[in-house]
């Protein structure tokens, strides 16, 4: 599990010493050190590591257990590594036919903790990845530790063996206390709060005729009440459930609460934004303009929706226009970047502020080579075909103008070439 809380202080207990005998892979040493760190162990001794020491792979695999890797003690022989131990355990998955006690990790942790409390030094031997401990190495130990594992697949990874032993020891010294618990809940809801919520719920269910047929109403109410009573809800739970019921009952509340405005509300939204001057206050913030464009796209007016569907389906315009897309600091209703055309919908009875805002936007776009076409929103709703034909005509005029410009350019080039001759 990830997620170490760096603000918390680690538990500092003097535990047993982990002794790795001729480990082969640096990664295994590092992961063993990491397992030690998980359970408060700090003493690590290594006997004759195959790839030498220090080991970069071990440091990487330790994943932050630098306080253990940095203080590793190296020894040439097992005898030297265990010389100061007053109690020595050897871990093995195989019977070595030696007359000495065999204990499980939990019993070994109990005995180790008692020895440490008495001022002794406890060491635990962990063998090679491939072959484990030799008979003569096991013979040095006072006890044998073996794990209750599947006898048909008993081999553990080196770090796993260290972790299991560390877990049993740490669980003992901490009395199994968990590092965190469920946050304290608010006090339990009173019967008065429960009844108020239930009355509200029943009133809304009656509005949608959920509690029917009438002869089953009382039984349904009892079942519903029992559902919430079994929950043993808190005051906060009741506040939340009240909010859920009312949100469902009242329906969508606009984009701020994840809903969508209707056509009339969307029109008022645009008027409000224009009166707040979006082109001025947010002009220096591209993220604000993009956020505003997303808001407007999510809440089209009736005229916008009708025209947009027509533009996407009509072969004369399909794929050419985008709706509520930023052009610099401004957001025209529709824009074609390829045709350099911007379409602005004009609502009836708009205020002078809105008209000025649209005029300023049109001037800004015109200066940058866009042709701005104003279309009455009422015309879109009453004569959509005429609006589309008018747009197609303007498109043809613009294309013809471009062709005339190209011809004029060719004529001027020919004349210059003729003068040169």
Over residues 326-350, the mean pLDDT reads 88
Structure tokens at 421: 């001759």
Find residue 103's DSSP bridge partners. 145
Q: What is the pLDDT of residues 348-384, one digit of tens each?
A: 888 888 888 888 889 999 999 999 999 998 998 888 8
Neighbour count for residue 164 (Cβ, 10 Å): 19
Measured between alpha carbons, how far is 350 from 213 in angstroms, rounded to an integer?
Answer: 52
CATH for the stretch 191-252: 1.10.8
Q: Could you tell me which residue, 378 or 287, shows the higher pLDDT?
A: 378
CA distance 296 to 131: 70
Instruction: Determine the average pLDDT of the residues in 271-278.
Output: 65
Nearest C-alpha neighbor of 88 from the set 111, 117, 119:
111
Domain ranges of the chain: 17-173, 191-252, 263-407
**Mean per-residue pLDDT of the chain:** 82
Task: Write the class of the CATH domain 17-173.
Answer: alpha beta
Q: Can you give the pLDDT at residue 120?
A: 93
Confidence bin at 283 (pLDDT 50/70/90): very low
As a whole-number percent, the residues of the chain with pLDDT over 90 amount to 33
How much is the average pLDDT of 273-289? 57
Q: Kindly indicate the confidence band of residue 74, based on its pLDDT and cuts at 50, 70 and 90.
A: very high
Average pLDDT estimate for 207-217: 87
Per-residue pLDDT tens digits for 100-140: 899 999 999 999 999 998 999 999 999 998 888 999 999 99
Q: What is the pLDDT of residue 420?
A: 52
The pTM of this model reads 0.48
Q: What is the pLDDT of residues 218-239, one digit of tens each?
A: 999 999 999 988 988 888 888 8
Q: What is the pLDDT of residues 133-181, one digit of tens each?
A: 999 999 999 999 999 888 888 888 899 999 999 999 999 888 877 777 6
Please determine, looking at this structure, whether the domain spanning 263-407 carries the CATH number 3.40.960.10: yes
Per-residue b/e over 115-133, b at no fewer than 16 CB within 10 Å?
bbeeeebbbbbbbbbeebb
């Amino acid at each position: 599990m990830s997620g170490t809380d760096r603000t918390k202080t680690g538990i500092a207990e003097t535990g047993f010493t982990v002794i790795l005998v001729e480990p082969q892979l640096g990664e295994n040493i590092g992961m063993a050190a990491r397992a030690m760190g998980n359970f408060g162990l700090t003493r690590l001794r290594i006997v004759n590591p195959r790839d030498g020491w220090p080991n970069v792979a071990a440091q990487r695999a330790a994943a932050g257990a630098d306080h253990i890797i940095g203080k590793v003690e190296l020894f040439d022989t097992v005898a030297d590594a265990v010389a100061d131990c007053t109690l020595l355990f050897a871990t093995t998955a195989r019977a070595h036919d030696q007359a000495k006690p065999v204990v499980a990790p939990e019993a070994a942790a109990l005995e180790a903790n008692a020895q440490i409390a008495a001022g002794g030094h406890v060491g635990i031997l962990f063998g090679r990845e491939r072959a484990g401990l030799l008979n003569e190495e096991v013979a040095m130990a006072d006890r044998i530790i073996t794990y209750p594992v599947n006898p048909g697949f008993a081999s553990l990874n080196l770090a796993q063996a260290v972790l299991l032993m560390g877990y049993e020891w740490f669980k003992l010294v901490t009395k199994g206390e968990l590092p965190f618990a469920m946050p304290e809940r608010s006090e339990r809801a009173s019967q008065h709060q429960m009844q108020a919520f239930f009355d509200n719920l029943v009133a809304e269910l009656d509005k949608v005729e959920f509690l029917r047929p009438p002869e089953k109403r009382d039984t349904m109410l009892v079942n519903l009440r029992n559902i919430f009573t079994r929950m043993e809800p808190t005051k906060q739970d009741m506040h939340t459930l009240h909010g859920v019921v009312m949100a469902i009952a009242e329906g969508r509340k606009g984009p701020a609460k994840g809903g969508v405005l209707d056509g009339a509300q969307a029109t008022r939204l645009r008027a409000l934004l224009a009166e707040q001057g979006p082109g001025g206050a947010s002009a220096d913030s591209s993220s604000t303009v993009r956020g505003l464009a997303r808001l407007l796209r999510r809440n089209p007016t009736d005229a916008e929706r009708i025209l947009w569907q027509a533009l996407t389906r009509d072969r004369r315009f399909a794929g050419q226009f985008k709706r509520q897309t930023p052009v610099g600091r401004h957001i025209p209703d529709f824009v074609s970047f390829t045709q350099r055309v911007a379409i602005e919908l004009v609502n009836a009875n708009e205020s002078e502020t809105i008209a000025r805002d649209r005029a300023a936007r049109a001037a800004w776009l015109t200066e940058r080579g866009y042709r701005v076409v104003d279309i009455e929103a009422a015309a879109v709703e009453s004569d959509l075909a005429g609006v589309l034909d008018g747009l197609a005509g303007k498109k043809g005029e613009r294309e013809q103008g471009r062709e005339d410009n190209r011809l004029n350019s060719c004529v001027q080039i020919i004349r210059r070439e003729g003068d040169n001759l």
